[in-house]
């Protein structure tokens, strides 16, 4: 088995990277894939909290890299999905405790018996970001429909192109269709217009995301949630399925979204 390494990054902080990693991991695992997610945010870990696994941490990423435990020992099995694992970040160290080549070695080991390795990148474009993208086969950029987030995403796309990592894919998170309709929020079209990269997902704004992350139960597990549905759709697209985009907005924009999907 050769697993794929998917790094989720954004440039700007607070756009929903960790939420996206947790939800995509859950959706992929619920689909029968063997998945591990790695929290790359050493020193500011929180993927464990969002996944509700904080109290099970014994070893972490830095322990693996520094040889204090076997990789298996640091992989925390999810409470609900037996094929989902988390490798948490160390909270008491900093980004320099891990190097890009450590990440490549670790991912090459994990590829042997997993389908997907998801890496939650820290915000920024410094060492932690480079650690997170070094082993990536594919990079997913999360952005919000606001200028500052899109600007940072553009910077990250430029860096990935310079590193010859190939063109990343885009997820537009926290879209509020009513605000777009009033002209108070960038539309997916506006975001695409600047970034010009493949759009693989559009996630509507949903206050249940906050409730879910406080509870440590990712929304993708809840059948009725729109945001959860959007993440499940992204997971299916990552597995190569053609899935239509959720109908979030008025007809006019829907047509344009369909065109966007057609451009891929």
Give the interface with other proteins as residue ranges (CB under 8 A): 96, 99-101, 125, 127, 130, 134, 151-152, 154-155, 157-159, 161-164, 194, 196
Least distance to other proteins, CB of residue 106, Å = 15
Q: Do residues 140 and 15 make contact, with C-beta atoms less than 8 angstroms apart? A: no
Least distance to other proteins, CB of residue 158, Å = 3
Compare residues 69 and 125 and give the one whose CB is closer to other proteins: 125
Compare residues 154 and 206 and give the one whose CB is closer to other proteins: 154
Least distance to other proteins, CB of residue 133, Å = 10
Least distance to other proteins, CB of residue 163, Å = 5
Least distance to other proteins, CB of residue 249, Å = 24
Compare residues 31 and 137 and give the one whose CB is closer to other proteins: 137
Compare residues 4 and 130 and give the one whose CB is closer to other proteins: 130
Compare residues 63 and 152 and give the one whose CB is closer to other proteins: 152
């Amino acid at each position: 088995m050769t697993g794929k390494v998917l790094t989720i990054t954004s440039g700007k902080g607070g756009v929903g990277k960790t939420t996206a990693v947790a939800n995509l991991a859950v959706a992929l695992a619920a689909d029968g894939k063997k998945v591990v997610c790695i929290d790359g945010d050493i020193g500011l870990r929180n993927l464990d909290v969002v996944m509700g696994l904080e109290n099970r941490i014994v070893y972490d990423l830095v322990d693996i890299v520094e040889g204090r435990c076997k990789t298996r020992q640091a992989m925390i099995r999810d409470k609900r999905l037996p094929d989902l694992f988390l490798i948490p970040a160390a909270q008491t160290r900093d980004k320099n405790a891990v190097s890009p080549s450590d990440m490549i070695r670790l991912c090459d080991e994990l590829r042997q018996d997993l389908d997907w390795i998801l890496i939650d990148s820290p915000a920024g474009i410094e060492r932690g970001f480079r650690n997170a993208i070094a082993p990536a086969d594919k990079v997913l950029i999360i952005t919000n429909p606001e200028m500052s987030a899109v600007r940072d995403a553009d910077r990250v796309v430029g860096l990935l192109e310079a590193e010859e990592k190939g063109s990343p894919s885009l997820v537009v998170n926290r879209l509020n269709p009513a605000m777009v309709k009033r002209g108070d929020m960038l539309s997916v079209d506006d975001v695409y217009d600047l970034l010009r990269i493949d759009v693989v997902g559009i996630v509507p704004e949903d206050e249940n995301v906050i409730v879910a992350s406080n509870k440590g139960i990712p929304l993708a597990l809840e059948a009725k949630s729109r945001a959860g549905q959007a993440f499940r759709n992204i997971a299916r697209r990552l597995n190569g399925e053609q899935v239509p985009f959720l109908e979030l907005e008025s007809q006019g924009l829907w047509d344009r979204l369909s065109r966007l999907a057609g451009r891929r």
